Amino acid sequence: MRDEGEIKVYLKRSRRKTISVEIERDLSVLVRAPLRMSEREIRRFLRDNEDWVRKHRDALAVKLKENEGIDRLTPDEIRELATEAKKDIPPRVERYALLIGVTYGRITISNQKTRWGSCSSKGNLNFNCLLMLAPEEHRDYVIVHELCHRKQMNHSRRFWDEVERVMPDYKKSVKWFRENGESLLSRMI
């Protein structure tokens, strides 16, 4: 790929079956590829997706510029949010798990820079402490979203139907995170 400046491209191989591209916060490109995929195939994939990469790098650069003046959280503030989340989130998880009809494993509160929550195949749930800065209804959406992965470990139509069954107005939260999520995540040191 060519650009005005040199784009840093990093390759990470693993036992995955497909190739993917991510734009990192430093505007470098991370390519995740299967162990046996040839470099020629990887270069072809990058060439074929050059427009996508350029578009998303440019969009991220604009977002990063917009977020330059944002007040960063101190380590103490992050610890306080995590403590608050450890008290607030588990009872919500329990309530929604009963409503959805699923079980779950361990609940972990972390301070991630890119995700609001995740659900492992074993049912362990992880939530970002920054959720405490989001309005309660949107915090609940993330909890419902992750718990619905206990029924569907994907984002299929059936998954979204389950989310909607529990939270009919979930699209408001999706929109809220699309509009506000990046600025909240950028407060993380």
Domain regions of the chain by residue span = 9-66, 75-185
Query: How much is the mean pLDDT over the chain?
Result: 92
Taking a C-beta distance cutoff of 8 angstroms, is the pair 27, 58 a contact? no
Tell me the pLDDT band of 67, cut-offs 50, 70 and 90. Answer: low
The answer to whether domain 75-185 has CATH 3.90.920.10 is: no
pTM given for the model: 0.70
Taking a C-beta distance cutoff of 8 angstroms, is the pair 160, 174 a contact? no
φ/ψ (deg, to 5) at 46: -65, -45
